[in-house]
């Protein structure tokens, strides 16, 4: 159906596969400014001029590296999702017990969300602004995380180590809802460290799932 240049989707030959950082200092400055402003004023509430001014550059520089304003948003989402999926795979590869897997996943989710709070905030607010095809790809990634977590709980319920009177689906939604909500109240300088938050959330979750 696409007869000519369609929006660039993320491809597997990403040259920055060893890291998530932009290639040049100028790109880094642009992304930093964009993340800061998008998190503060929203995507539509931020003008390209504001971004480049904050970065101490001009529009020429931005459009030299990025094809559009949405391109910036795509980059932000992409690097965040990639980071989270990397965490998921890394933890699954460790082949821990279900309980320890839950603990490790929650820790990773909390730490990632805390460390990239602005990006997570943008993602939470502006996900719906993605182009349909891009949204589909991102949604698939998220679903994978969701399904993995759900399957983990359901398996243990069948084995009798988790309480099957609890809806695994609701439990999953609750956990991810809590993670998303983090961006609204977590403060780096606040009294609770990410580790403490993750520990408390894990206790809460495992306590709810503990057999009757």
Partner DNA sequence: TGCGTCATACCGACCAGTCGGTACCGTCCG
Partner DNA sequence: CGGACGGTACCGACTGGTCGGTATGACGCA
CA–CA gap between residue 55 and residue 64 (Å, rounded): 14
Q: Which of 45, 56, 58, 90 binds its own copies (CB under 8 A)?
A: 45
Q: Are 111 and 182 in contact (CB under 8 A)?
A: no
Q: Which of 6, 68, 136, 203 binds DNA (CB under 7 A)?
A: 68
Q: Which of 14, 21, 44, 195 binds its own copies (CB under 8 A)?
A: 44
Q: Which of 185, 187, 188, 189 binds its own copies (CB under 8 A)?
A: 185
Instruction: Give the number of residues in contact with DNA, rule: CB under 7 A.
Output: 19
Burial class (CB in 10 A: 0-12, 13-18, 19+), 142: middle
The structure tokens listed for 100 are 């320890």
Q: Which stretch binds its own copies (CB under 8 A): 53-61, 63-71, 85-93, 173-181?
A: 173-181
- Residue 113's CB is within 10 A of a number of other CB atoms, namely 25
Token pair 């990773």: residue: 108
Instruction: Give the number of residues in contact with its own copies, rule: CB under 8 A.
Output: 38
User: Which partner in its own copies, DNA, none is near 125 (CB below 5 to 8 A by kind)?
Assistant: its own copies
CA–CA gap between residue 108 and residue 83 (Å, rounded): 10
The structure tokens listed for 130 are 């993605």
CA–CA gap between residue 198 and residue 109 (Å, rounded): 8
User: Which partner in its own copies, DNA, none is near 24 (CB below 5 to 8 A by kind)?
Assistant: DNA
Which string of x and - marks every residue 28-67 that binds DNA (by CB under 7 A)?
A: ------------------xxxxx-x----xxxxx-xxx--
Smallest gap from residue 36 Cβ to DNA (A): 15
Secondary structure (3-state) at 36 = helix
Applying CB under 8 A, which residues contact its own copies? 40, 42-45, 124-126, 128-129, 163, 165-167, 169-171, 173-182, 185, 197, 200-201, 203-205, 207-210
């Amino acid at each position: 159906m696409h007869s000519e240049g369609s929006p660039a989707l993320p491809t597997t030959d990403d040259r920055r596969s060893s890291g998530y950082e932009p290639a040049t200092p100028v790109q880094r400055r642009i992304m930093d400014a964009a993340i800061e402003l998008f998190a503060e004023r929203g995507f539509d509430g931020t003008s390209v001029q504001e971004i480049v001014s904050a970065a101490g550059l001009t529009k020429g520089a931005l459009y030299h590296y990025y094809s559009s304003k949405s391109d910036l948003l795509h980059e932000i989402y992409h690097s965040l999702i990639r980071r989270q999926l990397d965490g998921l795979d890394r933890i699954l590869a460790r082949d821990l017990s279900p309980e320890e897997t839950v603990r490790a996943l929650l820790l990773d989710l909390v730490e990632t969300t805390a460390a990239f709070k602005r990006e997570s905030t943008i993602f939470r607010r502006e996900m719906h602004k993605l182009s349909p095809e891009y949204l589909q790809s991102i949604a698939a990634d998220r679903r994978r995380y969701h399904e993995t977590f759900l399957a983990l709980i359901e398996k243990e319920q069948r084995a009798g180590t988790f309480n099957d009177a609890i809806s695994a689906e609701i439990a999953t939604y609750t956990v991810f809802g809590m993670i998303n909500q983090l961006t609204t109240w977590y403060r780096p300088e606040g009294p609770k460290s990410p580790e403490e938050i993750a520990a408390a959330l894990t206790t809460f979750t495992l306590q709810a799932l503990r057999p009757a």
